[in-house]
């Protein structure tokens, strides 16, 4: 049996009660933290909280050498854990498909995602988001600003009045010069706001920092103004609102200290 | 202090460890189940699991008479719980704004959402969803098929190659003839598939039934074929895929028993 368990957003208490139970009773616990990570807990903290050994796999260890995980799942109860929800993007679909094709039962125990927290913390309604994008570090796409595909998605959502969730690049194990096991870099929201203000449009943006933590920061202002602020430890996200319903505008003023002028628009 | 806590999708073990701790230590626990509900637990089950009294409020009791909740939050630690994530839509933003304007501290402890589970269970990538829609019961919108706004959103997403999450109508406390405290009705995915196949297009759809439960059902086929099947107890969702990446198509075949012909498209 192979159970994919999302740890949620922040620390060892962000997992569901069901997920924690499954981790505690597993024969083997595998984890990866290259797609995202828990900011409020390290591996030793997780091991102590769950009373298990956690075997951390890097990208090669998951994608090119999945055999140890599959063998453990064929022999007993193996769990594979990540921050957020493990299956929310296609990253680990391949591992699940391989397991199923070998006759290994699989299951998903969901975790809280950044996507959910982004609307929940800002008051921007989850219904009214268009396609999401990731803003890469300039060195990661070979340009020096905002990739055209990002600008196109932002524009297409705005044309339809929809909000955009901008995920900010995470580089773990890969740096400006290629593979680097020690590299760990998280794009900050102020840097993202500066990139978008210069390379796209200087519109209203909403920063969400440390979603899921006891003290998340939510701040709305023009991108050029957000670019001059600092939002502390990772992880950060940036939201670009589309048309605002009145309750959404009130929420941005009330929860994110947005300029009150947005209530008149 | 007023803490909004999402219970997640299925039963008393779907809440996060942090959320359960906050419920257990609260002075007063308020809940509403008219926007969604836990299929695997009733109020008595939650009270037993959390060792608290749960005060269930109906829509009027939340929206028109929030005073008891606010008074409890002004005097001590009150929590307000719902299925999913409490603040994911704007429904309860007003309650949070009222609390903040009275100087009551507020906090959100996130829960797993249907939106996250929908991509996670199907392998459809969360990045590639456009705007979501809700398909209402025909009696709820005065028509006899699919509202034009729903068709427009589905078409606009398809034009951009994006997936659509179709939430299915829930009517609790309101029935075909208006307010009715005993009314409880959940649109099933087969009915939704029939409505869309007749009133929009007969394309590939993906049913997700009982997301977050130990045995969710995920099934992909043409809408007219899904309309002839049954998917058991609520809650159900329906997804309309846009363009499929190869891994997404493989996931739909592997996890949802989609026709293998989609691999060639």
| Contact yes or no for B40/B142 (Cβ under 8 A) | no
In angstroms, what separates the C-alpha of B129 from chain A's closest C-alpha?
5
My answer on whether A55 and A125 are in the same domain is no
pLDDT of residue B141: 78
The domain boundary, picked from A85, A109, A133, lies at A109
Between CA A176 and CA A139 the distance in angstroms is 6
User: Which DSSP state fits B163?
Assistant: B
Q: Give how far Cα B123 sits from Cα of A111, A175, B13, B15, B32, Å.
A: 15, 29, 24, 23, 31
Indicate the burial class of B184 (C-beta count within 10 angstroms; 0-12, 13-18, 19 or more).
middle
Instruction: Give A18's contacts in chain B (Cβ within 8 Å).
Output: 13-14
My answer on whether A120 and A240 are in the same domain is yes
The domain boundary, picked from A50, A79, A109, lies at A109
pLDDT of residue A20: 98
Between CA A116 and CA A129 the distance in angstroms is 11
| Contact yes or no for B244/B162 (Cβ under 8 A) | no
Query: Which residue is closest to B14 within chain A, CA to CA?
Result: A16
A116 closest CB neighbour out of B93, B115, B250: B115
My answer on whether A138 and A251 are in the same domain is yes
A127 closest CB neighbour out of B21, B87, B89: B89
Domain count, chain A: 2
My answer on whether A126 and A92 are in the same domain is no
| Contact yes or no for A161/A129 (Cβ under 8 A) | no
The domain boundary, picked from B77, B109, B141, lies at B109
> Three-class SS string for B38-76?
CCCCCHHHHHHHHCCCEEECCHHHHHCCCHHHHHHHHHC
My answer on whether A158 and A102 are in the same domain is no
CATH of residue B143's domain is: 3.30.950.10
My answer on whether B251 and B151 are in the same domain is yes
Q: Model confidence over A217-256: pLDDT tens digits?
A: 999 999 999 999 999 999 999 999 999 999 999 999 999 9
> How many C-beta atoms surround the C-beta of residue A260 within 10 A?
11
My answer on whether A105 and A128 are in the same domain is no
A10 phi and psi, to 5 degrees?
Answer: -125, -60
Among residues B95, B88, B108, B93, which one has the least CA distance to residue B69? B95
pLDDT of residue A180: 82
My answer on whether B154 and B228 are in the same domain is yes
pLDDT in tens, chain B (265 residues): 999 999 999 999 999 999 999 999 999 999 999 888 898 999 999 999 999 999 999 988 888 999 999 999 999 999 999 999 999 887 899 999 999 999 999 999 999 999 999 999 999 999 899 999 999 998 887 777 899 999 999 999 999 999 999 999 988 777 788 888 788 889 999 999 999 999 999 999 999 999 999 999 999 999 999 999 999 999 999 999 999 999 999 999 999 999 999 998 7
Indicate the burial class of B224 (C-beta count within 10 angstroms; 0-12, 13-18, 19 or more).
middle
Instruction: Give A101's contacts in chain B (Cβ within 8 Å).
Output: 254
My answer on whether B19 and B84 are in the same domain is yes
B120 closest CB neighbour out of A110, A212, A254: A110
For A33, the domain range is 2-109
Angle at A188 between CA A184 and CA A192, to 5 degrees: 125
Instruction: Kindly state the tokens that stand for A21.
Output: 């139970």
My answer on whether A129 and A176 are in the same domain is yes
In angstroms, what separates the C-alpha of B134 from chain A's closest C-alpha?
9
- Quote the pTM value: 0.94
Between CA A54 and CA A43 the distance in angstroms is 7
H-only helix segments in B170-213: 189-199
In angstroms, what separates the C-alpha of B13 from chain A's closest C-alpha?
5
pLDDT of residue A182: 81
Best of B126, B156, B168, B243 to mutate (most A CBs within 10 Å, chain A): B126
CATH of residue B15's domain is: 3.40.1010.10
My answer on whether B124 and B249 are in the same domain is yes
Which residues in chain A come in under a pLDDT of 50?
none
Indicate the burial class of A101 (C-beta count within 10 angstroms; 0-12, 13-18, 19 or more).
exposed
pLDDT of residue A174: 78
Instruction: Give B246's contacts in chain A (Cβ within 8 Å).
Output: none
E strand or H helix at B135 = strand B133-135
Cis amide prior to A159 (ω within 30 degrees): no
How far does chain B reach from its first CA to its final CA, in angstroms? 54
| Contact yes or no for B52/B24 (Cβ under 8 A) | yes
| Contact yes or no for B130/B160 (Cβ under 8 A) | yes
Between CA A80 and CA A28 the distance in angstroms is 9
A126 closest CB neighbour out of B96, B115, B121: B115
**How many CB contacts within 8 angstroms connect chain A with chain B?**
182
My answer on whether A23 and A127 are in the same domain is no
Among residues A82, A87, A140, which one has the least CA distance to residue B121? A87
């Amino acid at each position: 049996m192979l159970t994919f368990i999302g740890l949620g957003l922040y620390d060892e208490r962000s997992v569901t009660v069901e997920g924690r139970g499954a981790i505690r009773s597993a024969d083997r616990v595998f984890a990866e933290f290259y797609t995202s990570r828990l900011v409020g807990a390290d591996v030793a903290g997780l091991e102590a909280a769950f009373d298990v050994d956690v075997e951390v796999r890097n990208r090669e260890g998951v994608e090119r050498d999945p055999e140890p995980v599959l063998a453990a799942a064929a022999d007993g109860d193996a769990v594979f854990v990540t921050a957020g929800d493990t299956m929310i993007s296609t990253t680990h679909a391949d591992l699940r498909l391989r397991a199923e094709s070998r006759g290994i039962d699989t299951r998903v125990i969901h975790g809280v995602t950044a996507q959910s927290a982004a609307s929940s913390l800002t008051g921007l309604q989850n219904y009214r988001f268009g396609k999401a994008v990731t803003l890469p570090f300039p060195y990661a796409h070979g340009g020096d600003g905002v990739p055209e595909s990002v600008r196109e998605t932002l524009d297409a959502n705005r044309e339809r009045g929809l909000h955009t969730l901008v995920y900010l690049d995470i580089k773990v194990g890969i740096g400006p010069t290629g593979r680097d096991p020690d590299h760990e870099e998280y794009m900050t929201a102020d840097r993202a706001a500066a990139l978008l203000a210069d390379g796209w449009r200087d519109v209203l943006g909403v920063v969400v920092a440390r979603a899921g933590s006891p003290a998340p920061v939510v701040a709305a202002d023009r991108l050029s103004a957000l670019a001059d602020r600092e939002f502390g430890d990772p992880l950060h996200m940036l939201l670009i609102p589309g048309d605002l319903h009145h309750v959404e505008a009130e929420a941005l003023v009330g929860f994110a200290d947005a300029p009150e002028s947005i209530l008149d628009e």
